[in-house]
Amino acid sequence: MTDAEISIMKMEPAEFYKAFGEIRLHSASQADCPLCGALLAFSFKRAEDGVWTWYCRACHQEGDTIYFVEKAFDVDRKTAVELIQTYLEDCAQPEPCRETKAKLSKESEPSGVTSEPKLPPCERCADGGESRKEGKHSEIILTVDELAKAKDIHRERYLEFFIERGCISILGGEQKIGKSLLALNIGISLARGESFLGLAVPKARKVLYLQQEIHNAGMLERLSKMTDIRESSVRNNLLFFAMDRVLKITRESDREQICKSIEETVPDLVIFDPYCTFHNDNENDTSQMNGVMDLFFGILRKYNIAILLVHHVGKPQLLARRGAHNLRGSSAIPDRADATIVLSRPSEFLASLGKSKVASKLLPPSCYLNVEFNLRHDFEPSPFVIERNPDTLWHKRSDIAEKLVREIVPAFAIEHLSEHGGAMPQKDLVQYLQENVASRAIVFEALREMKPDRIIPEKASGRGNPLILRLR
C-alpha cells in the first residue's frame, strides 16, 4: 500500500466530504454513494491505526475512502487515488455561493456597460462556509438544491420505528413496570447489531447508558443475566456512567460533564434513565419542560447522535389519556419527541387469568407488557404484547391467543375437572372457562387441541344426555 493511499484512508471526514462532494458533481451517477445512488448516506468509524471505514446507510455496503471513489468512476485503485488528490487540490478554494456569484457576475459584463464596483465575496465564501456552519451567516434560508445536499437528508435508523440519529425517543411506563430492563435490552441489542422484538437493527452501534437509580453492582447483576459480559460487542459498544453523583442537565457544570462523556466515548445513542432525575424543574410547567427539552436537543444537534429518555406515566386518575400523552407532566415532553413507546399492563390478558394459581404460575402477569407506539415520521405499527423471561430478564413478543389455547385454558380445564372428580358435562366446563379464562371461540379451540390426548369425550346413553369430558 502506497503512502498516498494510507494518507487518503486516514483523511478526516470533513476533508473527505469536501473532496467527495466535488467528485459527486462530476460522477456519472451524480450521487454520493456510487453503489446505490443515495445522497450523503455515509456514516463512518475510525480504526486504531487511524484508517476510516465508510458505511452507506442506504445499501449497507462498506469500505475505505478509495473504494467508493473506485466505484463512482469505475476505475482502478491507482486512478482513484490520483483523482482524489486532484480534487483535493482543486477544492482548496470554496465554490462561491449564489449570493457572491450574482455580485461577481457583473464583472463579465461587456465594456461600455455601467456596472457597480467590484464587491468582495460574502463571509460565507470567504471562510469556506465555516461561518454558516457556526450560525454566524445571516442567510439561513436554503434552496431545494442546498436542502438536498444537507448531510442529514437521509434518515439513519438504529432500531426500526423507534430510534434514529438526530431524534429524541421516549420510553414510558408506570413505576416498576420494567422500563429500565427494556431500555437495557435495547442497548444490548444495538451493541450487538441484532434485531429486537422483531424490529430491525441494521448494524451494531455504540451506546452510552446514563442511569441514576440503580447502583453499579445492581446494574452489573442485571447485565450478567441478560448477556455474556465477556462478549466483545458488548464490552466495546456498551458504556455506563459511574454513578458517583446525580447529574442535572439544567446545571451548567453537570451539562458540561455530560458533553465531556459524549466527546470521550463518541456514542451513537445516549440513554438518560430516568428523565426526572436529570432536572429539578416542574414537570407540569410547559415553559419549564420546553426549556429542559431544549437542552436535550442542544446536545442532540451538537453531537449528531440519538437520545432515548426513560420516563414515567401520569397518576392513575390521569390514565384516561392515551398513548404518549399518558406520560407524566406537561404535554411538551411527548410533543417534542420524535418517537414514543408507552408500556402498560395488557388488561384483557390479566382479566383472562382469573384467580387460578396454575395460570399465574405458568404465565406470571408481571412479566407481560403491552407496547404502544406514537411516531412523528412513520405510520405507527399496531400495539403488541411482549413477555419478559424472569431468569434472563430478556423480552420477546408474545402470542397471547396461542398461550391461552395451548397453556392457560388447558391448565384451567384440568384443574376444574380434577376438582369435580375428573369428569363433568362439556357445557358446564365451557361455561366456567368462558366466564373465567377466555372467549368461547378460544375455549372450544383449546378443548379440541386437548382431545383425545388429555381429555376423553363420552356420550351418555339416552337421548338429550350431555356430552361428558373425562380426564385421561
pLDDT single digits (tens) 378-418 = 888 888 889 899 999 999 988 776 777 888 888 888 888 89
Q: Among the ranges 139-143, 155-159, 202-206, which has the highest mean pLDDT value?
A: 202-206
Q: pLDDT value at position 163?
A: 94
Cβ atoms of residues 261 and 247 within 8 Å = no
Tens-digit pLDDT profile for residues 239-258: 998 767 789 999 999 999 99
Is 27 a residue whose pLDDT tops 50? no
Mean pLDDT, range 107-112, rounded to an integer: 51
CATH code assigned to 157-398: 3.40.50.300
Predicted local distance difference test score (pLDDT) of residue 67: 78
- Domain map of the chain by residue range? 3-90, 157-398, 403-471
Cell representation of residue 260: 465531556
DSSP letter assigned to residue 380: P
Fold of 403-471: Arc Repressor Mutant, subunit A (1.10.10)
Q: How confident is the model at residue 288 (pLDDT cuts 50, 70, 90)?
A: very high
Percent of the chain with pLDDT over 90: 31
Return the sign of the alpha-carbon dihedral for residues 340, 341, 347, 348.
positive
Of 67-76, 93-102, 284-293, 401-410, the range with the lowest mean pLDDT is 93-102
Mapping DSSP onto H, E and C, the string for 112-168 reads: CCCCCCCCCCCHHHHCCCHHHHCCCCCCCCCCHHHHHCCCCCCCCEEECCCEECCCE
Average pLDDT over residues 73-97: 68
pLDDT of residue 104: 53
Residue 14, pLDDT score: 58
Phi, psi of 343 (to 5 degrees): -95, 140
The whole-angstrom separation of Cα 183 and Cα 196 is: 11
Higher pLDDT, 176 or 111: 176
| Lowest mean pLDDT, pick from 83-97, 174-188, 225-239 | 83-97
Sign, Cα dihedral of 408, 410, 412, 415: negative
Distance, in Å, from the CA atom of 385 to the CA atom of 369, rounded to the nearest integer, reads 6
Task: Count other C-beta atoms under 10 Å from residue 143's C-beta.
Answer: 9
| Cα(243)–Cα(209) distance, integer angstroms | 11
Tell me: the pLDDT tens digits for 321-365? Answer: 556 778 889 989 999 999 999 998 876 556 555 555 555 566 666
Query: pTM score, two decimals?
Result: 0.61
